[in-house]
């Protein structure tokens, strides 16, 4: 155990917290556990007393800090503008230094730190998925989710399926860069094809930089800031440039990372952050980009009439950093959109949270699934790949509501 | 003091996950929204009245202090365990047991969040009026123990006016039932009123019967600015005196408005010396008529501008400034003291002038906010509690503000409670005999002073 007086590196500014408790009202984990120690306010207090040397680093302290979805709702709703998100991230790193992450989390970090490793692991896993006996896949679980309910991996990476540059289908209106993220590249190729289709349909030339890497958020959440920095620099090198009017993301978490985390990481390492700031200003999620240009979409009335009814789940990082896509579903009148009463609430996915704390994730997902099914919709839309895996995987009983990215759904309605 | 065998008994009783005793966990129960902190020796999270009574019995037999806690949003330090011992947190006793619209009551466990109850009542066309600022997270048990208020209490009354009955675990471990489901009930002492605002010093409230009320048909809101703060306050008492009873009359002074505008850019008039937010509710016809009279009155007092809202979206926009007052000042902090002194409505103009004079004399930059319609002042004082020189000035000013309320026949707290924040000032407004009567009750019920010791009684 570490001497408490050495806790200076976690000595971050926690003193603007007035302990009003408003964060408890928006914390998904608190809503399940109903124990102050599982609240954002408590985590801020723990960071403070740790930095003051009143408590020492311990496995329990690590758990209290990391039993958090990192959804950012506390930060987004804090009257005193406490930056819980960054402080938790820093404290997680601090705790991981003293108490290592479990082996499977370390394995994930190892893979995400290098695009090449990830590609190789994905191709091995693809083979694995093919030869896995069905009974085995059903018995073994990732958190609460049976392996059989996990999505298949792409047969080839999405980026290897498409050209580096795709011309618009009609009149050219501009150029955008597309950050595809690991999920689209390795798991949900449909999201990538749909995003490409929407952008080219609206008249945009789409460039997908070949050397892009993982956005780095899993690395930052699990204390691998050094490896994260390498990815961040690689991404800045491919995305910082004139010409493109926007950098499109299809994953809200990648988007929030590219937008909000790159500058602080570089600044902490004593590096200049102006390039990260330029990128930050251009980051936009695909559905917000579509929303701002709705007049460019030609919806086929017949296709829309024949389409299934949809409901929607707003991912936390979209809600807290960008804007939920429900507004697009509402504004395209031809879409039969049936809102679920808790469409804005967290699903409990949270990166690796659903794997680390399945009992909490199950309660959160259960509420969502119940309300989505009650909406009567036939398809469930959500922008985030982890929400999608979590909400699809945690559906237990007979009726299974399919999930896809809103971009995929809207792409099917185009003329 | 606490020993392992007591801890083991609590674990057997409540389950391992509902007994917390590590320093990391205890650190999470040392505070509320007040400035002070004190670590408990153990925290328990019971799930039933039987479990609460069993914990109380252990505390009583072993003479261990016991402090109740809800969501820990009190701003007066009421749930801070200054004498350590046990913190008993009600957050897991959070079931709404019954909602009966025909008889107009709801029965809840103390850990039910006020906002969650509202969400259950709204689809039925009903609501529970007390609306403290912490409505989205504070618990009904905490609201009752602190007799919480809120902006709309001007028209509807405070928590106590909605408590029909309750179940209480006494320090002896006995369970008693006070009141009933009847709106009218004069059977014996109105003891549930005694427990409203008792801050956990007399018993632990384990079940509450609340009166609920139908939602009004509609509401109208107006935001009015004045060139003169005194006239702003006079307009308030004039409106109240004329027989109109708005839902809320929120007053903000120029410092408050400027700070809000600097942060939020809502287009507020930063030149105005005083701003009033007034809301009426009822039938559309009543709202129209009352709002007409309010507009006449504020014009008589030299209103500079009037902004009216009829739709709920427009109303929400007007309320925005008021809702963000606390956050804006909390951010200036790092800490914040929200004062709560209250005077009769006709004394509001004089009291506001006095508060401003005191703050200026001590060179304290603070906003003045008030639920002016019921005389409840909320000076918002951003402080840095580590700055001892500043804290000395602020404490001196607060003491003078309390003293200033006395000649106006005011009181120390309108809705925040006494807790640690105001205990020493009780003699200002309660004479010796009255305080002695409170002590007699306390000693009769809790002879060993185990329930929330170190507070106002």
pLDDT of residue A2: 37
Cα angle B81-B84-B87, degrees, rounded to a multiple of 5:
60
Rounded Cα–Cα distance for residues B267 and B262 (Å): 10
Cα angle B206-B209-B213, degrees, rounded to a multiple of 5:
145
Are B96-214 and B218-326 in the same CATH fold?
Answer: no
Residue showing tokens 């556990």: A33
Residues of A in contact with B28 (CB under 8 A): 36-37, 39, 42, 45-46, 64
φ/ψ region of A102 (left if φ > 0, alpha if ψ in -120 to 50, else beta) reads beta
How crowded is the C-beta side of A124, counted as CA atoms within 13 Å? 7
pLDDT of residue A5: 40
Rounded Cα–Cα distance for residues A73 and A276 (Å): 24
Rounded Cα–Cα distance for residues B120 and B101 (Å): 12
Per-residue pLDDT band at A3 (split at 50, 70, 90): very low
Nearest residue in chain B measured CA to CA from A50: B24
Give the 3-state secondary structure of A22-44. HHHHHCHHHHHHCCHHHCHHHHH
Q: Which of A21, A45, A49 has its CB closest to that of B71?
A: A21
Residues of A in contact with B24 (CB under 8 A): 37, 46, 55, 58, 60-61, 64
Task: Enter the CATH code of domain B4-89.
Answer: 3.30.43.10
Q: Is-contact B248 B279, C-beta < 8 A?
A: yes
Reply yes or no on whether the pLDDT at A7 is more than 70. Answer: no
| A117-126, A255-264, B83-92, B136-145, range with the lowest pLDDT | A117-126
Reply yes or no on whether the pLDDT at A139 is more than 90. Answer: no
Give the three-class secondary structure for A312: strand
Percent of chain B with pLDDT over 70: 100
Q: Is-contact A186 A122, C-beta < 8 A?
A: yes
Distance of residue A37 Cα from the nearest chain B Cα, in angstroms = 5
Residue showing tokens 């003045």: B368
Strand partners, A404: A381
Rounded Cα–Cα distance for residues A250 and A290 (Å): 12
Task: Note the pLDDT tens digit of each residue in A257-278.
Answer: 999 999 999 998 999 999 999 9
Reply yes or no on whether the pLDDT at A10 is more than 60. Answer: no
How crowded is the C-beta side of A91, counted as CA atoms within 13 Å? 33
Q: Is-contact B91 B139, C-beta < 8 A?
A: yes
Per-residue pLDDT band at A152 (split at 50, 70, 90): confident
B304: which 2 tokens?
A: 């500079």
Reply yes or no on whether the pLDDT at A129 is more than 70. Answer: no
pLDDT of residue A115: 73
Cα angle B96-B97-B100, degrees, rounded to a multiple of 5:
95
pLDDT of residue A250: 98
Rounded Cα–Cα distance for residues A406 and B348 (Å): 55
Question: In which element (H, E) is residue A324 found?
Answer: none
Interface residue of B330, B332, B380, B381 to substitute, partner A, most A CBs within 10 Å: B330
pLDDT of residue A11: 38
From chain B residues 355-394, the ones with a CB under 8 A of any chain A CB are 386
Phi and psi torsions of B422, nearest 5°: -125, 5
pLDDT of residue A12: 41
Q: Using alpha carbons, select from B28, B34, B26, B30 the residue that is nearest to residue B419.
A: B34
Per-residue pLDDT band at A135 (split at 50, 70, 90): low
Reply yes or no on whether the pLDDT at B236 is more than 90. Answer: yes
CA separation (Å) from A142 to A82, A100, A115, A313, A325? 33, 20, 23, 22, 28
Q: Where are the domains of chain B?
A: 4-89, 96-214, 218-326, 333-428
Higher pLDDT, A134 or B43: B43
CA separation (Å) from B379 to B35, B121, B257, B274? 16, 33, 13, 14
pLDDT of residue A133: 57
Nearest residue in chain A measured CA to CA from B325: A79
Q: Is-contact B64 B111, C-beta < 8 A?
A: no
Give the three-class secondary structure for A319: helix
Cα angle B183-B186-B192, degrees, rounded to a multiple of 5:
75
From chain B residues 92-151, the ones with a CB under 8 A of any chain A CB are 92, 94, 111, 113, 115, 134, 136-138
Q: Which spans in A295-400 are helix H?
A: 301-306, 316-321, 326-331, 353-356, 358-374, 385-393
pLDDT mean across residues, chain B: 95
Cβ atoms within 10 Å of B426's Cβ, excluding its own: 15
The interface predicted TM-score (ipTM) is 0.95
Q: Is-contact B316 B365, C-beta < 8 A?
A: no
CB-based contact B20 A37, cutoff 8 Å: yes
pLDDT of residue A142: 72
CB-based contact B29 A39, cutoff 8 Å: no
Give the three-class secondary structure for A3: coil
Q: Taking the CA atoms of chain A, what radius of gyration do you get in angstroms?
A: 21
Mean pLDDT value of segment B418-440: 96
Mean pLDDT value of segment B358-384: 94
DSSP conformation class of B162: G
Per-residue pLDDT band at A136 (split at 50, 70, 90): low
pLDDT of residue B274: 94
Question: In which element (H, E) is residue B348 found?
Answer: helix B348-361
Q: Which of B28, B138, B386 has its CB closest to that of A42?
A: B28
pLDDT of residue A4: 39
Angle between helices B254-264 and B325-332 (to 10 degrees): 80
Reply yes or no on whether the pLDDT at B48 is more than 80. Answer: yes
How crowded is the C-beta side of B148, counted as CA atoms within 13 Å? 25
Please tell me if residue A306 touches chain B, with a CB cutoff of 8 Å.
no
A11: which 2 tokens?
A: 């000595």
Distance of residue B27 Cα from the nearest chain A Cα, in angstroms = 7
| A22-26, A165-169, B312-316, range with the lowest pLDDT | B312-316
Give the three-class secondary structure for A152: coil
Mean pLDDT value of segment A137-141: 62
Mean pLDDT value of segment B304-318: 89
Q: Which spans in B362-417 are helix H?
A: 388-405
Please tell me if residue A156 touches chain B, with a CB cutoff of 8 Å.
no
| A98-102, B3-7, B452-456, range with the lowest pLDDT | A98-102
Q: Using alpha carbons, select from A358, A328, A356, A326 the residue that is nearest to residue A342.
A: A326
Task: Note the pLDDT tens digit of each residue in B312-357.
Answer: 889 988 998 888 888 888 888 788 899 999 999 999 999 999 999 9
Mean pLDDT value of segment A115-139: 64
pLDDT of residue A134: 60
Distance of residue B33 Cα from the nearest chain A Cα, in angstroms = 5
Rounded Cα–Cα distance for residues A407 and A325 (Å): 10
Rounded Cα–Cα distance for residues B400 and B355 (Å): 9
- Every domain range in chain A assigned CATH 3.40.50: 297-411
Rounded Cα–Cα distance for residues A409 and A415 (Å): 13
Q: Taking the CA atoms of chain B, what radius of gyration do you get in angstroms?
A: 22
CB-based contact A35 B45, cutoff 8 Å: yes
pLDDT of residue A104: 76
Distance of residue B196 Cα from the nearest chain A Cα, in angstroms = 22
CB-based contact A81 B24, cutoff 8 Å: no
Reply yes or no on whether the pLDDT at A65 is more than 80. Answer: yes
Distance of residue B90 Cα from the nearest chain A Cα, in angstroms = 9
- Every domain range in chain A assigned CATH 1.10.1060.10: 4-98
Task: Enter the CATH code of domain B218-326.
Answer: 3.30.70.3450
pLDDT of residue A9: 39
Please tell me if residue A25 touches chain B, with a CB cutoff of 8 Å.
yes
Rounded Cα–Cα distance for residues A382 and A399 (Å): 18
Q: Is-contact B81 B40, C-beta < 8 A?
A: yes
Q: Using alpha carbons, select from B161, B165, B145 the residue that is nearest to residue B209.
A: B165
Rounded Cα–Cα distance for residues B177 and B166 (Å): 6
Mean pLDDT value of segment A10-36: 85
Q: Which spans in A6-102 are helix H?
A: 28-33, 40-51, 59-66, 73-77, 84-98
Task: Enter the CATH code of domain A297-411.
Answer: 3.40.50
Higher pLDDT, A148 or B260: B260
pLDDT of residue B332: 85
Reply yes or no on whether the pLDDT at B55 is more than 90. Answer: yes
Higher pLDDT, B160 or A143: B160
B198: which 2 tokens?
A: 């008792």
Task: Note the pLDDT tens digit of each residue in B91-137.
Answer: 999 999 999 999 999 999 999 999 999 999 999 999 999 999 999 99
Rounded Cα–Cα distance for residues A28 and A39 (Å): 9
Mean pLDDT value of segment B134-148: 97
The dihedral through the CA atoms of B193, B197, B200, B205 has a sign that is: positive
Give the three-class secondary structure for B211: strand
The third-level CATH classification (topology) of the domain covering B96-214 is: 3.30.465
Higher pLDDT, A109 or A403: A403
CA separation (Å) from B142 to A45, A255, B134, B243? 22, 40, 11, 33
Task: State the count of interchain CB pairs (< 8 A) between A and B.
Answer: 93
Rounded Cα–Cα distance for residues A120 and A132 (Å): 18
Per-residue pLDDT band at A170 (split at 50, 70, 90): confident
Give the three-class secondary structure for B130: coil
Q: Is-contact A219 A225, C-beta < 8 A?
A: yes
| B13-22, B250-259, B314-323, B412-421, range with the lowest pLDDT | B314-323
Rounded Cα–Cα distance for residues B296 and B321 (Å): 24
φ/ψ region of B290 (left if φ > 0, alpha if ψ in -120 to 50, else beta) reads alpha
Task: Note the pLDDT tens digit of each residue in A82-115.
Answer: 999 999 999 998 999 898 888 777 777 777 777 7
| A73-87, A181-195, B403-417, range with the lowest pLDDT | A73-87
Residue showing tokens 């102050």: A36
Q: What is the DSSP string of A191-257?
A: HHHHHHHHHHHTTEEEE--TT----SHHHHHTT-HHHHHHHHHHHHHHH--SS-SEEEESSHHHHHH
Give the three-class secondary structure for B322: helix
Domain A4-98: homologous superfamily in CATH: Alpha-helical ferredoxin (1.10.1060.10)
Distance of residue B95 Cα from the nearest chain A Cα, in angstroms = 12
Nearest residue in chain B measured CA to CA from A42: B28
Give the three-class secondary structure for B38: coil
Architecture category of domain B333-428 in CATH: 2-Layer Sandwich (3.30)
Give the three-class secondary structure for A357: coil
Biggest distance spanned by C-alpha atoms of chain B: 71
Per-residue pLDDT band at A14 (split at 50, 70, 90): low
Q: Using alpha carbons, select from B235, B324, B218, B314 the residue that is nearest to residue B272.
A: B235
């Amino acid at each position: 155990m570490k001497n408490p007086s050495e806790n200076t590196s976690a000595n971050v500014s926690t003193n603007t917290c007035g302990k009003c408790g408003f964060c408890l009202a928006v914390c998904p984990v608190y809503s399940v556990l109903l124990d102050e120690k599982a609240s954002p306010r408590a985590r801020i207090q723990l960071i403070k007393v740790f930095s003051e040397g009143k408590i020492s680093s311990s496995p329990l302290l690590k758990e209290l800090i990391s039993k958090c979805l990192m959804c950012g709702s506390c930060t987004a709703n804090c009257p005193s503008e406490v930056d819980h998100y960054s402080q938790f991230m820093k404290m997680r790193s601090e705790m991981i230094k003293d108490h290592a992450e479990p082996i499977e989390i370390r394995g994930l970090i190892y893979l995400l730190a290098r695009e090449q490793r990830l590609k190789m692991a994905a191709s091995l896993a693809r083979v694995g998925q093919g030869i896995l006996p069905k009974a085995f896949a059903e018995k073994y679980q990732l958190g609460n989710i049976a392996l059989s309910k996990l999505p298949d991996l792409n047969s080839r990476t999405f980026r290897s399926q498409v050209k580096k540059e795709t011309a618009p289908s009609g009149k050219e209106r501009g150029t955008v860069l597309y950050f595809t993220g690991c999920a689209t590249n390795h798991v949900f190729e449909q999201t990538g094809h749909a995003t490409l289709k929407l952008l080219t349909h609206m008249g945009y030339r789409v460039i997908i930089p070949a050397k892009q890497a993982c956005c780095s958020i899993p690395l930052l959440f699990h204390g691998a800031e050094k490896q994260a920095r390498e990815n961040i620099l690689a991404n800045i090198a491919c995305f910082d440039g004139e010409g493109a009017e926007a950098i499109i993301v299809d994953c809200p978490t990648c988007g929030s990372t590219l937008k909000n985390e790159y500058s602080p990481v570089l600044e902490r390492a004593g590096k200049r952050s102006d390039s990260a700031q330029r990128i930050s200003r251009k980051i936009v999620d695909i559905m917000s980009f579509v929303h701002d240009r709705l007049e460019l979409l030609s919806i086929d009335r017949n296709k829309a009439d024949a389409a299934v009814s949809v409901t929607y789940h707003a991912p936390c990082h979209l809600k807290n950093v960008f804007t939920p896509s429900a507004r697009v579903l509402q504004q395209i009148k031809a879409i039969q959109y049936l809102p679920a009463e808790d469409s804005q609430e967290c699903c409990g996915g949270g990166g690796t949270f659903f794997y680390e704390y399945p009992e909490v994730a199950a309660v959160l997902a259960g509420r969502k699934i119940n309300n989505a099914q009650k909406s009567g919709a036939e398809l469930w839309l959500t922008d985030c790949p982890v929400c999608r895996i979590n909400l699809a995987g945690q559906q237990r009983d007979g009726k299974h509501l399919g999930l896809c990215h809103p971009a995929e759904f809207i792409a099917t309605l185009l003329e | 003091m606490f020993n392992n065998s007591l801890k083991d008994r609590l674990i057997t009783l409540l389950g391992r996950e509902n007994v917390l005793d590590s320093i990391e966990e205890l650190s999470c129960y040392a505070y509320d929204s007040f400035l002070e902190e004190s670590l408990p020796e153990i925290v328990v999270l019971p799930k039933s009245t039987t479990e609460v009574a069993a914990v109380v019995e252990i505390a009583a037999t072993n003479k261990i202090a016991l402090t109740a806690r809800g969501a820990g949003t009190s701003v007066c330090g009421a749930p801070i365990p200054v004498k350590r011992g046990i913190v008993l947190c009600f957050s897991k006793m959070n079931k709404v047991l019954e909602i009966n619209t025909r008889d107009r009551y709801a029965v809840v466990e103390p850990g039910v969040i006020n906002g969650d109850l509202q969400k259950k009542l709204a689809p039925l066309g009903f609501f529970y009026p007390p609306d403290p600022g912490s409505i989205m997270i504070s618990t009904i048990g905490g609201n009752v123990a602190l007799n919480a208020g809120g902006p709309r209490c001007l028209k509807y009354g405070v928590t106590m006016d909605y408590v029909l009955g309750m179940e209480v675990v006494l320090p002896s471990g006995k369970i008693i039932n006070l009141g009933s489901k009847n709106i009218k009930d004069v059977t014996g002492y109105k003891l549930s009123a005694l427990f409203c605002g008792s801050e956990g010093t007399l018993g632990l409230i384990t079940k509450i019967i609340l009166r609920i009320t139908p939602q009004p048909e509609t509401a109208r809101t107006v935001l009015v600015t004045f060139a003169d703060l005194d006239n702003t306050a006079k307009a308030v008492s004039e409106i109240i005196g004329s027989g109109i009873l708005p839902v809320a009359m929120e007053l903000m002074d120029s410092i408050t408005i400027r700070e809000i505008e600097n942060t939020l850019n809502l287009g507020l008039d930063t030149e105005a010396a005083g701003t009033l937010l007034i809301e009426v509710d009822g039938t559309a016809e009543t709202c129209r008529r009352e709002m007409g009279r309010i507009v006449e009155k504020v014009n008589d007092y030299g209103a500079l501008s009037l902004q009216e809202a009829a739709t709920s979206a427009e109303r929400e926009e007007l309320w925005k400034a008021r809702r963000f007052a606390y956050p804006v000042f909390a951010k200036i902090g790092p800490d914040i003291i929200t004062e709560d002194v209250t005077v009769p409505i006709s004394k509001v103009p004089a009291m506001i002038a006095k508060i401003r004079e005191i703050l200026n004399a001590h060179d304290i930059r603070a906003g003045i906010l008030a639920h002016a319609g019921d005389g409840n002042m909320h000076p918002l004082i951003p402080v840095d509690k580590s700055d001892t020189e500043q804290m000395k000035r602020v404490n001196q000013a607060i003491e003078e503000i309390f003293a200033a309320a006395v000649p106006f026949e005011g009181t120390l707290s309108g809705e925040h409670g006494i807790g640690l924040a105001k205990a020493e000032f009780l003699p200002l407004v309660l004479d010796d005999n009255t305080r002695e009567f409170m002590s007699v009750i306390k000693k009769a019920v809790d002879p060993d002073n185990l329930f929330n010791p170190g507070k106002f009684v």
